[in-house]
Amino acid sequence: MSSTADHERQALDAVELSVDGPTERMDVRDLGPPKPLKNTLERLVELDDDTVLVQVNDRAPQHLYPKLDDRGYEYETVAVDDAVVTVIR
């Protein structure tokens, strides 16, 4: 099994995202619904505008996307190894 840091690197490479600032990673694979959604939205509010959040999940966070759109975030989701990684900026 790959580490969360490996997932972050692979996801950033896959979406060709150039990150000059800090990244924050969140592994929500072990959380049951609705905790991944809730925890991700709460964490985004706490982050500085230049910080990229990398969420590692076991599936695409379909219910998160409309919430991110409503709040003006950009995001991309890629499948890497045994996880689905969403990069939110």
Average pLDDT, stretch 30-47? Answer: 96
15 or 39, which is more confident? 39
pLDDT above 60 (res 16): no
Identify the pLDDT of residue 81.
79
Q: Which position has the higher pLDDT, 59 or 79?
A: 59
Q: Which domain holds residue 28?
A: 4-88
Mean pLDDT throughout 25-52? 95
CATH number for the domain including 20?
Answer: 3.30.110.40
Mean pLDDT calculated for residue range 73-84:
88
- Please give the mean pLDDT across all residues of the chain: 86
Q: How many domains does the chain have?
A: 1
**Secondary structure, 3-state, the chain:** CCCHHHHHHHHHHHCCCCCCCCEEEEECCCCCCCHHHHHHHHHHHHCCCCCEEEEEECCCCCCHHHHHHHHCCCEEEEEECCEEEEEEC
